[in-house]
């Protein structure tokens, strides 16, 4: 039997309660990783944990119910994970929200702030609190999930989401540059149209059966998380 590619790696996945994050968590568990699942919904995380046990030879996940708009809770994460695990091998900053699609002039300020908080600022805070743990890994791997098509096109009505994602790309590439002399590699995945709740929110009339399913994306996330992945600062498409 082939060696599991993420055997005993410790991986934190944000937005793991459904969609792309759930599929990545299950793929990592199948490849032998211990997965730490983060989202707001503890009961949904519990259901993912059931599937993780089946996928990962009975190994249970660690569940973190946390709202990524809560900066203080993110800041406390690094010290807590340090106490429990002593290091982090893989961070997947996947959680994201679409927000309401609306003209710039109609966006309520709390709405703008929440999209930027969850999609962008939370990922900067995760880097800040988890960098010491990633540096304790022999091959720290950081993967953020972007949406390059939307981010690059400056499409009408999508501003909070687009701005958050283009800024996330700059954030990730900056971290890649700042860690170039270390064992850490930082990259982004641009999944493109995938059948999830967020996609259904953006395109309610679409038949999701015609889209790529989250399970079909996971191979690239496994490769980017592997110790033998060498590139950094790139946007990769499955």
Q: Would you name the residues annotated as active-site residues?
A: 161
Which residue's CB is nearer to ligand NAP, number 94 or number 137?
94
Query: And the tokens for 73?
Result: 């809770």
Distance CA 189, CA 234 (A): 8
Which residue's CB is nearer to ligand NAP, number 137 or number 222?
222
Give me the least distance between CB of 192 and ligand NAP, in Å please.
Answer: 6
Residues that bind ligand NAP (CB under 6 A): 15-21, 39-41, 44, 67-69, 94-97, 118, 145, 147, 191-194, 196-199
Using CB positions, name the residue nearest to ligand NAP.
19
Residue 231, φ and ψ in degrees, nearest 5: -75, 155
Q: In what order do the strands lie in the sheet with 34-39?
A: 62-65, 34-39, 10-14, 90-93, 141-145, 185-189, 235-236
119-143 per-residue burial string, b: 16 or more CB within 10 A, e: under 16 = bbbbbbbbbebbbebbeebebbbbb
Give me the least distance between CB of 200 and ligand NAP, in Å please.
Answer: 8
Which residue's CB is nearer to ligand NAP, number 57 or number 206?
206
Distance CA 79, CA 82 (A): 5
Which residue's CB is nearer to ligand NAP, number 23 or number 33?
23
In the block, residue with structure tokens 């900067």 = 124
Give me the least distance between CB of 84 and ligand NAP, in Å please.
Answer: 20
Give me the least distance between CB of 70 and ligand NAP, in Å please.
Answer: 8
Nearest to 231 by CA among 192, 166, 184: 184
């Amino acid at each position: 039997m082939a060696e599991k590619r993420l055997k005993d790696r410790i991986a934190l996945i944000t937005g793991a309660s459904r969609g792309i994050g759930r599929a990545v968590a299950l793929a990592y568990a199948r490849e032998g990783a211990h997965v730490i699942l983060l989202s707001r919904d503890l009961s949904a995380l519990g259901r993912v944990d059931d599937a993780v046990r089946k996928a990962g030879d009975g190994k249970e996940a660690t569940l973190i119910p946390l709202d990524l708009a809560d900066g203080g809770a993110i800041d406390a994460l690094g010290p807590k994970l340090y106490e429990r695990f002593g290091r982090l091998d893989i961070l997947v900053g996947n959680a994201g929200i679409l927000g309401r699609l609306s003209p710039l002039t109609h966006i309520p300020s709390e709405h703008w702030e929440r999209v930027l908080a969850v999609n962008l600022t939370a990922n900067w805070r995760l880097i800040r609190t988890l960098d010491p743990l990633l540096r304790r890994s022999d091959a720290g791997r950081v993967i953020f999930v972007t949406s390059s098509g939307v981010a690059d096109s400056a499409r009408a009505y999508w501003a909070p989401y687009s701005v958050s994602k283009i800024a996330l790309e700059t954030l990730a590439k900056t971290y890649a540059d700042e860690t170039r002399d270390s064992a850490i590699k930082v990259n982004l995945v641009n999944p493109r149209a995938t059948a999830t709740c967020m996609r259904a929110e953006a395109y309610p009339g679409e038949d999701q059966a015609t889209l790529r399913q989250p399970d079909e994306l996971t191979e690239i996330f496994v490769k980017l998380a592997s110790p033998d992945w060498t590139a950094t600062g790139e946007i990769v498409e499955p």
